[in-house]
Structure 1
Amino acid sequence: MNFLKTFTRGVVRAAVVSAAALLIFGQVSVMAPGAAHAAVVSSIVVQGGQRLDAETVKNYITIQPGKNFGPNEINESIKALYATGLFSDVKIAQRGNALVVTVSENNVVGSVRFEGNKKLKDDMLEAVVETKPRSVLSQAKLDADVERLKETYKRNGRAEAQIEVQTIPRENGRTDVIFKITEGSRTGISSITFVGNKAFSSGRLRDVMTIKRTDFTSWLSKRDQFDDAKLQADEEMIRRLYLRNGYADFRIVNTDVQFNEEKNRYNITITLDEGPRYTFGSVAVDSSVASINGPSLMPYVLTKSGKVFNADLVQKSTEKLSLALLSQGHSFAQVRPRGDRDYTTHTINVTYLVDEGPRLYVERIDIRGNTRTRDYVIRREFSMSEGDAYNKALIDQAERRLKNLGYFKTVNIATQPGSTPDRVIVVVNVEDQSTGSFSVGGGYTTDNGGGFIATVALTEKNFLGRGQFLKVSVGGGASDRTFNVSWTEPFFLGRRMSFGFDALYNQAEQTDYRPYNQNNWGGTLRLGLPITDEWNVQFNYKLAQRDVTSWGSQYIADWGAFAQLYPIGSWINSSVGYVLTYTTIDNYQNPRNGTFVQLAQDFAGLGGDGKFVRSTVDARYYKEIMPDSNMVGLIKAGAGNITGLDGQDVQVLDNFYRGGETIRGFASYGYGARYMGNASNYAIGGTTYYNVTAELQFPLPLMPEEFGLRGAIFADAGTLFGYDGLQNLNIEDSSMIRSSVGASIIWNSPFGILRGDFGEALTKASYDQTQVFRFSAGTQF
């Protein structure tokens, strides 16, 4: 009995095992052909499409009817469909002889709106996001847009900005997108600290940075907005400061940026390794090209033995040598500076190696990243074009020119291999930035008799993305009203020469120093031609009309003299002239080093009433006397003369007028020839002047450099004398030297350069008019 039970159980178990084995074998036999052999379908069926037709979907997949496919082809087709960004879900399955592709389409964006943004306008945010009306709605794109918006707010001083996305489904598969923005409070910078600096004070290093610590002017200047790109640019400015002052081994060890959430402020710590200070040792040009004589190229070298090492001069010398060789027909010659350090004497021997470079040609120049600036504006900064010999010096020159334009946040030029080994592709990567400004200013001036003034100006350095300069300004005060328009095309007729015009209107009413009412209007046509990087010449044509309309009734006792001095009527001056300029100034807004010399002449008599030649010269020399203490010396000189032509006298109102703008301590129109009238005395200017200034500028102690306040002490001297054709009038005139000394306060404010001068006249004529305090506004050039 037990045997029977045991036998029965064994049979049942065997049957179960056999059945299971057959089942498993059957599954394997069914699956094996699909895994081991490629399948074939006779048709492809698309399901789920609403806006896209089936043929569009089929074009994206790699499987074709009648051709073998396997799991790899299915995966590739699914990936290809997802990569289009058109679908939120994709499934592919085989049903009999048909391949069924089931898709769920992403919605299309209806409208894109921004809510809660007050500090940044819609047009600025629209340029940032990639989600656009009528584009495909994608969650990945929305997430990326949120990060872009946060980064934009961070660069504009609002690191705490929060962005939420709201989607509102509409009919026909469209979805409206709303970016809800909480801008948060304005972030700032609590501290910028330097570690390891000995040669330059922390204040001097902070002074070269564009990012500033938060102060009472930050709300207007916005110079305390933290931005990684700005910080990197500032690090480069610090590096260049050290490298042009002899510290060839300088490096930035670390930059640590910490954000204090409680104070909503950044703390920046920059650790430096200055290294020793070097001077130039021997300087030579060595050529390995038989047809190039190295020593003959020394006149193009700016680095001099015994002088403090300056990396900027090494770069400029390399470029000058390369351009000289190019002009001599050596298209493929390349110049490489080699510096051999002597760590004992702290000198660097510099040898400019001239070699025959590879014979490469520019296949094309690709422009990337510019959303506003036209391609041709970027291309014209290159001194080479497609098909020319590739020259690294010209590439570096173009990169420097593009950076100096001020149109871009970043500029980077790289190369890629071309279609053949002897071809290269030049890739220019840029990022546009805002180039327009709108300014409203007001204040009190001691110029021209004093009074309150106001100015409204609109300036665009890259007009319509064409690289043109446009400025429109309206201003005036109690006795003057002005309107000015200026436009310049820097590349006229596709060449590196500028063309532009200026138009002005001025209405001047009588004052204590000006006993007449006058209207002036006119214009200037300009054509500028560069000679070298330092020299340029500008030719001009000027047409101006001056209308003296009336004299003040209180001056009736002097009306007889006024008929000679300020005759009522209209006078037209038509003149041609030129302006020759030499400049090596490092920064026109805040000059520290360099020379500026300008000679100008106007020849009136090309029609009109006036016939004269007017000549002026202006020379300035800036020198950073103590770079570590941020002290700058200035020597300035000027001279001028106006002489009548064809026996014609120079009109009084065409004379030069000088005062506190050249010799501080004197009033406007304060020195020079003067008519001693019955009611008062009036400046009549002069036909000849010259002046000289010595000034030392320095940071004010105990004042943070972010305030932009500096002090100065000065000494001025000069004279103005001479007049034509005035008969039987009581006129005082003397060529004696006037002089003064004094001190100044200079504020680099968000409104521009504001300056207050306290001057005391040391020598003066008895009839000169003095003024202890003078206020002025505007740049120095």
Structure 2
Amino acid sequence: MEKQANNLPKLSYIKTVFTFLLLFCATFTVALFAQNGLTKGATYIVRDITVTGNTAYSPQTVITYSGLRKGEKVVVGGEKIGDAVKKLWKSNLFSSIDFYFVNIENDSTDLEINLNDLPELNEVRIEGVKKGKKEEILNENDLKKGKKVTENLITTTRNYLTNKYKKNGFLNTKVNVITRKVDNDSIEKERVDMLVNINKGEKVKIKSIDFVNNEKLSDKKLRKAMKNTKQKFLFRVLKRSKYVEEDFKDDLVSVVDAYKENGYRDARVLSDSIIYNDDETISLQIAVEEGEKYTFGKIDFVGNTVYSDQQLMAVLRIEEGDTYNGVELRKRIADEEKPDGLDLTNLYQNNGYMFSTINPVEVSADGNVIDLEIRISEGKPAYFNSVTVSGNDVTNDHVIYREIRTRPGMLYSRADIIRSIRELGQLGYFNAQAIAPEIKNPNPVEGTLDIEYKVEEQGSSQIELQGGYGGGGFIGTLGLSFNNFSLRNIFNKDAYKPVPRGDGQSLALRLQASQFFQTFSFSFSEPWFGGEKPYQLSTSLSYSRQFRFDPLSRRANKDQSFNIAGITLGLSTRLSKPDNWFLLSQAISYQNYDLKNYFTGLFNFGNGTSNNLSYTIGLTRNNTNVDPIYPTGGSNFSVSAKFSLPYSLFNNVDYEALRETSDAINAIPPAQRTQAQTDALAAADQERFRWLEFYKVKFKGDWYTQVAKKLVLRPSVEFGFLGAYNNDRGIIPFERFFLGGDGLGNFALDGREVIQLRGYPNQSLSSGDGASVYNKFSLELRYPITLGQGAKIYALTFLEGGNSVNNFKDFNPFDLKRSAGAGLRIFMPAFGLLGIDFGRRFDDIPGQAGSRGNWETHFIIGQQF
């Protein structure tokens, strides 16, 4: 393009999409114009600057942004014009930028900046994908109406979509992006419509993965080392056979590591290639060079003064003559996958030597025997100078500081930092995935450092509001749980947002009612009673009132009631031995059972009372990793014993005579008993159960193992036993186990424990009065869908088995009712845990022959499994 002004030639800068070439282009163009009358290097004074072309921006804005000014000197092919072009181009507002020297007189000139605005995006049409995916594509690529359409936007959109579908196995994906100008004279700005055509093609599977030149390790073993790239296999579920270039490159490293783990230190991948097959699959061919097998030779430590060679060798656990394993050597020095692993780095890091460095150096490889020097620079011991927290907008500082294991003046310990992260995550007040300690101001000379724990608050209070039909009528439930409550601010009206929060206390209220029962409960706990040590004080009050069903009116008979009132006071504390993961808990509880004209099958009196005064002691060890909703490692064990006083030892009641009386009367059919015999039977039961006498032992253990990325395996085992001190008194009718179903408790407050076993109807694996012995085994595989702050969602599959009996002599831990299935869990801070399970039973329900093979649907509310 050329333009004449006063018979002087035009100077035009060539448009380019590469910013770093702009100055070169400017210089080259000026050289061309020198042939037409302008001289490169000539200097002119700028008289005036004008802006022309198709642009919506004001001339003053363009001139100001360019950096050019009237009265200044410019050089043909100089930096000022080049910098102006560069600034305007980098604004991403213009499709073309041209500069003209016009009206040149002696040493003066006018400058004309000719611009064309980039077009704006009008409409986007996406073809080749389902309707539900189109909105996702628009959001991911920020294709909004009014956005400037640059070559970069088009290229980025094309590349993003191509790579997106290639990662999902569509190796032949083609994406074409076309723009078309919108013809509309009423619109001043240029606008374009965009067509995005996506041709995914067929999903390309890997037919085979073949290795060349491998003699020491088989194809099968090498393919197993490739964690993400798999060949077609009929029964493959967890890893699909698809080719993703990034994953494949990582797997090539894994192939080399497989050799290193078996002593072939020099192994390497020579080449890799993709072969396209006629059946629209691909084959991967990997050529390797294995090299010779090596063994470890002498291992010397250099620079160690804190630990002896023997102590370091005990941690390294590698002996002279062992097969060389470069991968394991690296892990024994510093295992990046296990921040709390047993390795040399952690040995130093957990004992104050933050500034230590450990480097293994091969000093000899004669005869395929590798001698090592492990060179250690210990540095000075480091001490925490400042420990701070940030991000806690609700939770008070003292609640966080009391959980942190790193204190100012303490010796640096990496293990204490990891433990602090875990303790903060277990509180439930913060997003466990976002807790981040940041080391600041490390000073190796003075041996000091600062640390800041960054947290992200999340809602910890929960509300339960539900209604439904069950038990013959409507059931309404209102539950409020405040898990970061502040009792000291309860009379401070300014603290209600909506309730006083921030002191780490727990307060829960629950109301449930129907025409047949009402239940009220209140509980409160203070985790640091006294403020100095972690003594958790908890208390709870409950009251339940139940009514009998009247078959004539089909309504509740308020003249027949069963009332239960209870109170519990508990105290728990953390232990330092055997290790500091243990928790000792103790509780005293009392329940009063009051029957008014309420006859059941539990005992033979309908008017009377029963009392339960018991003491519970429990020992728990919980070292699960960070997130209490989705633990990825560790274990949780608990054992407890609950027992009453042995009243029969000192109350001078002849329970043997009472039992004989009851047995004699029970042998008489009810229709043939006299009123006196019925009254005698009721009196005997009233005496037997006036004060409940029993002991109860329970055990539960969970293990969490991360088997692949965030895929977690959770085995679990449970056992419970309810016993009697005096066989003449027998097993009490309360405190029993009810096995089967979703595991959700009901309105009864008689001490019963409802045990989940999915795939079976609720409480179908125990008798109507409950069982005295049960056991259960469970295996769950979990995979997270999202672990964000707003909601944590994970899917699961499970295998379960369990059973319950009424007498220990009938107990067989391997006689199990089995099931399997899948489910989904959603945890939202405001509502707690919600879920659904689909379980299929493999055994008949007791008393229902032929019921095996059926499916059960279970809804989970407010529980964690």
Output the TM-score relative to the length of structure 1: 0.52
Deviation at 1:88, TM superposition (A): 1.5
| Match in the other structure for 1:21 | none
| Match in the other structure for 1:738 | 812
- Find 2:600's aligned residue among 557, 561, 566: 561
Deviation at 1:104, TM superposition (A): 1.6
Asked if the contact 1:62–1:77 (Cα under 8 Å) also holds between the matched residues in 2, the reply is yes
Structure 1 segment 406-421 matched on structure 2, within 5 A: none
| Match in the other structure for 1:142 | 154
Asked if the contact 1:658–1:670 (Cα under 8 Å) also holds between the matched residues in 2, the reply is yes
Deviation at 1:85, TM superposition (A): 1.6
Q: Note if 1:617 corresponds to 2:629.
A: no
Structure 1 segment 224-303 matched on structure 2, within 5 A: 224=240, 228=244, 231=247, 235=251, 253=269, 263=280, 288=303, 290=305, 292-293=306-307, 301=315
| Match in the other structure for 1:55 | 60
| Match in the other structure for 1:173 | 188
- Give the match's secondary structure for 2:378: strand
Deviation at 1:102, TM superposition (A): 1.4
Asked if the contact 1:114–1:178 (Cα under 8 Å) also holds between the matched residues in 2, the reply is no
Q: Which amino acid aligns with 1:617?
A: F
CA–CA distance in structure 2, aligned partners of residues 282 and 523 of structure 1: 67
- Find 2:98's aligned residue among 91, 103, 117: 91
Asked if the contact 1:276–1:346 (Cα under 8 Å) also holds between the matched residues in 2, the reply is no
Deviation at 1:93, TM superposition (A): 1.6
CA displacement 1:562-617 (0-9 Å, x = unmatched): 47599999x999x999994445799999999986534579999xxxxx99998743
Residues 87 and 244 of structure 1: CA distance in aligned 2, closer, same or farther (over 3 Å): same
Q: Which amino acid aligns with 2:355?
A: F
Q: Unaligned regions of 5+ residues in structure 2, if any?
A: 1-31, 104-108, 212-216, 386-400, 447-454, 487-501, 529-533, 558-596, 645-691, 742-754, 782-795, 826-835
| Match in the other structure for 2:40 | 35
Residues 653 and 199 of structure 1: CA distance in aligned 2, closer, same or farther (over 3 Å): farther
Asked if the contact 2:526–2:536 (Cα under 8 Å) also holds between the matched residues in 1, the reply is yes
| Match in the other structure for 1:124 | 136
CA displacement 1:133-183 (0-9 Å, x = unmatched): 444332432342233234445556666475544443554434555544556
Residues 169 and 270 of structure 1: CA distance in aligned 2, closer, same or farther (over 3 Å): farther
Asked if the contact 1:665–1:771 (Cα under 8 Å) also holds between the matched residues in 2, the reply is no
CA–CA distance in structure 1, aligned partners of residues 546 and 165 of structure 2: 55
CA–CA distance in structure 2, aligned partners of residues 550 and 93 of structure 1: 99
Residues 537 and 668 of structure 1: CA distance in aligned 2, closer, same or farther (over 3 Å): farther
CA–CA distance in structure 2, aligned partners of residues 589 and 269 of structure 1: 43
What is the percent sequence identity of the aligned residues? 13
CA–CA distance in structure 2, aligned partners of residues 469 and 240 of structure 1: 50
- Give the match's secondary structure for 2:141: coil
CA displacement 1:3-36 (0-9 Å, x = unmatched): xxxxxxxxxxxxxxxxxxxxxxxx9999788335
Q: Which amino acid aligns with 1:129?
A: N
Deviation at 1:319, TM superposition (A): 7.5
- Paired residues, number: 622
Asked if the contact 1:116–1:183 (Cα under 8 Å) also holds between the matched residues in 2, the reply is yes
Asked if the contact 2:737–2:774 (Cα under 8 Å) also holds between the matched residues in 1, the reply is no
Deviation at 1:351, TM superposition (A): 6.0
Asked if the contact 2:599–2:605 (Cα under 8 Å) also holds between the matched residues in 1, the reply is no
Asked if the contact 1:332–1:389 (Cα under 8 Å) also holds between the matched residues in 2, the reply is no
- Give the match's secondary structure for 1:102: strand
Residues 665 and 655 of structure 1: CA distance in aligned 2, closer, same or farther (over 3 Å): same
| Structure with higher RCO (Cα < 8 A, 6+ apart) | 1
- Give the match's secondary structure for 2:99: strand
Deviation at 1:773, TM superposition (A): 4.2
Deviation at 1:84, TM superposition (A): 1.8
Asked if the contact 1:594–1:623 (Cα under 8 Å) also holds between the matched residues in 2, the reply is yes
- Find 1:333's aligned residue among 356, 364, 371: 356
Asked if the contact 1:278–1:347 (Cα under 8 Å) also holds between the matched residues in 2, the reply is yes
Residues 772 and 83 of structure 1: CA distance in aligned 2, closer, same or farther (over 3 Å): same
RMSD: 8.0
| Match in the other structure for 1:355 | 378
Q: Which amino acid aligns with 1:657?
A: F
| Match in the other structure for 1:597 | 637
Deviation at 1:198, TM superposition (A): 4.2
Asked if the contact 2:294–2:370 (Cα under 8 Å) also holds between the matched residues in 1, the reply is yes
Q: Unaligned regions of 5+ residues in structure 1, if any?
A: 1-26, 363-379, 423-461, 510-516, 530-535, 605-609, 675-681, 698-707, 722-732, 762-766
Residues 157 and 48 of structure 1: CA distance in aligned 2, closer, same or farther (over 3 Å): same
Q: Which amino acid aligns with 1:561?
A: T
Q: Note if 1:105 corresponds to 2:120.
A: no
Deviation at 1:52, TM superposition (A): 1.3
The answer to which structure has the higher strand fraction is 1
| Match in the other structure for 1:655 | 736
| Match in the other structure for 2:650 | none
Q: Which amino acid aligns with 1:41?
A: V
Residues 152 and 345 of structure 1: CA distance in aligned 2, closer, same or farther (over 3 Å): closer
CA–CA distance in structure 2, aligned partners of residues 518 and 240 of structure 1: 68
| Match in the other structure for 1:685 | 771
Structure 1 segment 362-761 matched on structure 2, within 5 A: 548-551=546-549, 560-562=599-601, 564=603, 580-582=620-622, 597-599=637-639, 616-619=698-701, 636=717, 638-639=719-720, 652=733, 654-658=735-739, 669=763, 682-686=768-772, 689=773, 691=775, 733-740=807-814, 758=842
Output the TM-score relative to the length of structure 2: 0.48
Q: Which amino acid aligns with 1:72?
A: G
CA displacement 1:522-554 (0-9 Å, x = unmatched): 79999999xxxxxx9999887877664545959
Deviation at 1:191, TM superposition (A): 3.8
- Give the match's secondary structure for 2:149: coil
Residues 136 and 643 of structure 1: CA distance in aligned 2, closer, same or farther (over 3 Å): farther
- Find 2:205's aligned residue among 167, 187, 190: 190
CA–CA distance in structure 2, aligned partners of residues 398 and 339 of structure 1: 37
Asked if the contact 2:331–2:343 (Cα under 8 Å) also holds between the matched residues in 1, the reply is no
Deviation at 1:105, TM superposition (A): 1.9
- Find 1:81's aligned residue among 74, 83, 88: 88
CA displacement 1:248-292 (0-9 Å, x = unmatched): 9698947766677975x66667788999999999999x68365x3
Residues 390 and 289 of structure 1: CA distance in aligned 2, closer, same or farther (over 3 Å): same
Residues 84 and 90 of structure 1: CA distance in aligned 2, closer, same or farther (over 3 Å): same
CA–CA distance in structure 2, aligned partners of residues 177 and 521 of structure 1: 65
Q: Which amino acid aligns with 1:85?
A: N
